Chains A and B, each alone.
Chain A
C-alpha cells in the first residue's frame, strides 16, 4: 500500500548535489529525505536529470507530490551553481524563468526554458479551459467581435513600429 505523504519543504544541497524534501506521513510525523544526484556534474543536461529523477523508483513516491516546475527549478539551480553562478544570481535567474515577459522573444530559447514558459502559461490555459466533459461544452463556439472593434490597438502605434504594419 502506498503511504500518503504531504510534502512540506523542498530544497537542494550543493555538495555533494542532492534534492532534499521534508514531509509528513500518515500519522503526521515529520520526516526528511535526501535524494543524492549521483552522476550530476556541470555538464549534465537539466531535462535529462529531471527525467531520470522522475523515473527513479525510489524517489517517485516523494517527487510525484512536487510540481514538475518545482523539480525543474531546483535542478536548474543546482546546475547553475555547479557552473559557478552565484546563489543570488541563480535565484534571480529562476525568478525570470517563472514569469513570461510580453516583450521577450521566445523563439530563441532552449527546450528546457521554453517548456517552463509553457508550463507557466498552462496555468491560465487550464483555468479557462472548456473540456468536452463540461456540461456547457460546445464544439463550435462562434462569437462575433466585429462590432466591438472600435479602438485601434496601441501595438500598432509604436514609434518602433515596423514599416510593414
Chain B
C-alpha cells in the first residue's frame, strides 16, 4: 500500500500553507462517499489509490489567512478491505465517523470502528455524523448516546438534501487544523513510529484488528 506517491502530511510546512488529511469511517452504504461528494459538489478531482476501495478527494480552502489543502480519504466499509486500513489511518488529522439513521446495525457497529480508529490514532479529533435524516426527520428528536459518551461533536446530516453537510465538514477541517498545530502529543509520536513500522512490512494481517490484540498492542507501544 505504501508507495512514494502517497502524500506526506507530516511537515508543518510554511505558516500560510497547510496540508491536512481527513478520513471517513463507517459501515458500507452509510453514505460516506455521497457526503464527501456533497461537500465538494463539482469542485473535486477524485483520485483512486492503488485499489478501488480507496478514493482520495483533494480540496483547497482558506481558513483565516491560511491556505489549507485538505485530502479527504474515503474508503469502502466492506470488511475485505480491512487489511489496508493501517495506511488509511496513517497521519490522519481528523476523522468523520458516519452511521445511517435508517439502519440500526450501522449504529451498533460504531464502537468497533471507533476502537480501530483509536488503535491507530489515539488522539485525533473524531466527529460523528448521523446520515440520511431526509428519510424521516423525526429521528432528529432523538439523542444518540454513543457520541455523547465519547465526547464527539454530533451532526444530523443528509447527503441527499444537504442538511448540515457543509457545517460538519468545515468543523472537521477546523478540528484537523487545531490538532495539527498542537500535535506534540507523546502517544501520537509513538503511534507515528508504529505506523511507519507497520507500513514497511508487506504482511499486514487483518487478524491484527482483533479487539484483545489491539489492547495489547497499545500497551506495548506505551512501554517501548
State whether the Cβ of A114 lies closer than 8 Å to any Cβ in chain B.
yes
Identify which of residues 93-148 in chain A touch chain B, using a CB-to-CB cut-off of 8 Å. 100, 102-109, 114, 117-118, 121, 124-126, 128-130, 132, 138-143, 145, 148
Assign chain A's interface to a size class. Answer: 35 or more
Q: Nearest chain B CB to A153's CB is how many angstroms away?
A: 4
Nearest opposing residue in chain A for B39, CB measure: A139
Interface-facing stretch out of B61-69, B133-141, B197-205: B133-141
Count of A-B residue pairs with CB < 8 Å:
116
**Cβ B162 vs Cβ A104 within 8 A:** no
B104's partner among A102, A108, A128, A164 (CB-CB below 8 A) is A102
**Cβ A109 vs Cβ B134 within 8 A:** no
Q: Nearest chain A CB to B146's CB is how many angstroms away?
A: 6
Nearest opposing residue in chain A for B99, CB measure: A155
State whether the Cβ of B215 lies closer than 8 Å to any Cβ in chain A.
no
A162's partner among B104, B111, B160 (CB-CB below 8 A) is B111
**Cβ B108 vs Cβ A107 within 8 A:** no
Contact with A along B158-174 (1 / 0, CB 8 A): 11111111110000000
19 contacts between A and B (CB under 8 A): A100-B103, A102-B102, A102-B103, A103-B104, A117-B29, A124-B135, A128-B134, A128-B160, A132-B41, A139-B162, A139-B166, A140-B167, A141-B163, A143-B156, A143-B163, A145-B156, A150-B141, A152-B144, A165-B149
Q: Could you list 6 further interchain pairs (A-B, Cβ under 8 angstroms) beyond the known A100-B103, A150-B143?
A: A102-B102, A124-B135, A128-B160, A130-B161, A142-B166, A150-B141
| Interface set of B (CB-CB < 8 Å, partner A) | 27-29, 34, 41-42, 77-79, 102-105, 107-109, 111, 114-115, 132, 134-135, 139-146, 149, 156, 158-167
